[in-house]
Amino acid sequence: MAFHATHFALVLLAFVQAEAFRGLRQLPQPPNKGNAEEQYFEQVLDHFNAIDGRTWQQRFWVNLDNYVEGGPAFIFIGGEGEASPGWLNYGQWSKWAQENGAAMFILEHRYYGQSKPTEDMSTENMRYLSSRQGLEDLGHFMTAMTSTYDLTAGSWITFGGSYPGSLSAWMRLRFPHLVAGSVSSSGPLFAKLDYFEYFEVVADALDTTGPGCNIALTEALSTVEGIIGETDDLGELSSLFRLCEPLDGSNSMDVMSFMELLVDNLAGIVQYNGFYNEDIFSICAIMTDESLGEPMNRLAALNDVLLGPDQEMCLDHTYNSFLSLLTDVSWTGEGVGWRQWIWQTCTEFGWYQTTNQESGVYGHTLPLEFFEQWCQDAFGPEFTHEMMEKSVAASNIEYGGYEPSVSNVVFVQGSIDPWHAMGVLEDLHEGAPSIYITGTSHCADMYPDKSSDPEELTAARLRIGGLVKGWVENARK
């Protein structure tokens, strides 16, 4: 059975591996314990063209169990994957909804899940997918729901983690008359093509387990690079890492795709450290276990752990396999949002996790050009480096990058999360604080309390809850 970084439903940790560098991807989803009815909202297709009157059906869910007349409305913003109604009864925002008597809404992001604005995802139709359109969707939806459900207080609090964490902050920026306050969890706010800082954070995180882990990883990846560069016979390497097809050393895109999967093993575990069976300590225990042989053999052993015990499972490293997902314009795929999210990175954000670190800790086989080739192969030759640089710059002008002009927004980041390097890490001012939580990973503050939670995480959640309560009370005055 083939395993590619995109086929994350196959094994538990496959999701983590897919998650790391091709996009923020969805958060680990909660169980759907409620019976929330799936509903659809008639949404405008193009908010920036008044002449175009086309509409489409956008999926959403509502929970009024906690709502007290005159209470606020909370909205959980959907992101670059299928939205889950399980959040209506799960996590910190659910607890705060109970405390504040809030109505709860989840709105799925356009182009993801079952929210399909166009007949297909042809390049021509992709032009309606952007964060800017997504923010307008939210504004239109919230205005309509205020009327539909007679939300007399009229105050909304937005919640989001990862890319939706960015959207949450930008909602307060764009619609301060609608949004009383915003929680931005692990949201990258600064758009950047060459996001080499991502793997710098990965390295720092793994260093917390002891000095030997990154040393072994560097040697392992260097050995693999050396073998690929020095010999045409890569059968042993293909077998060692359980590749579905023999590695072709003359195919540079296949080589880079293979190396990408190896470093993704690390990045995915770090990004969601604490959510799955494997964590930074368990993978570093493998990488520093000399009984497993040389570092390259330890890296192969780590790859075996992530693939699982089924020996029929193999690593699909070929670029063509990934490209087939990027170029699939139908809505009939797995719904993981690859073509859609890559479009957003090509046209708005970049965030390509290269191995351009000065330290060379994870080799040098993933240059920016590798990722830019995705955009050209998926969407056309006009997606040049210069074009993408302009698009990224436009996003930072639009939203303010590291310094958005906002109030009543709290920016929450974890030190283990590789995305924190693109986030707001210091208070912008008294009304826009930053909470930086040592030792926590991507969006950890959003999940339910556990007895094993570090004190800093518990304190952060209490502080966020206090801010939310304050925004609600101020909006009532």
**pLDDT score for 241:** 94
Residues annotated catalytic, as ranges: 162, 417, 442
Per-residue pLDDT reduced to its tens digit, 379-399: 999 999 999 999 999 999 999
**Which amino acid is it at 197?**
E
Domains defined along the chain, listed by start: 2-24+193-393 (no CATH), 39-187+402-476 (3.40.50.1820)
Over residues 90-119, the mean pLDDT reads: 97
State the Cα–Cα distance between residues 19 and 76, nearest whole angstrom.
Answer: 21
Q: Report pLDDT for 275.
A: 87
Q: Which residue from 171, 189, 188 is spatially nearest to 180, judged by alpha carbons?
A: 171
- Residues in Cβ contact with 233 at an 8 Å cutoff, skipping those fewer than 6 apart: none
Alpha-carbon distance 246 to 242, whole Å? 9
Better-predicted residue by pLDDT, 198 or 335: 198
Taking only the tens place, the pLDDT of each residue in 424-464 is 999 999 999 999 999 999 999 999 999 999 999 999 999 99
Q: For 313-332, write each residue's pLDDT tens digit.
A: 888 899 999 999 899 999 97
Position 36 scores a pLDDT of 87
Structure-model confidence comparison of residues 31 and 253, the more confident one = 253
- Taking 90 as the threshold, does the pLDDT of residue 266 lie above it? no
Q: What is the pLDDT of residues 87-96, one digit of tens each?
A: 999 999 999 9
Q: Say yes or no to pLDDT of 230 above 50.
A: yes
- pLDDT(335) > 70: no
Of 4, 28, 29, 32, the closest CA to residue 18 belongs to: 4
**For position 232, what pLDDT does the model report?**
75
Question: CA 244 to CA 238: how far, in whole Å?
Answer: 8
Give the global pTM.
0.94
Residue 183, CA atoms < 13 Å, CB-side half-sphere = 29
- 78 vs 22, which has greater pLDDT? 78
Structure confidence at residue 307 as a pLDDT band (50, 70, 90): confident
Confidence of residue 224 (pLDDT cuts 50, 70, 90): very high
Contact 5, 17 (CB under 8 A): yes
Residue with the larger pLDDT of the pair 309 and 349: 349
The answer for residues whose C-beta is within 8 angstroms of residue 211's C-beta and 6 or more apart is: none
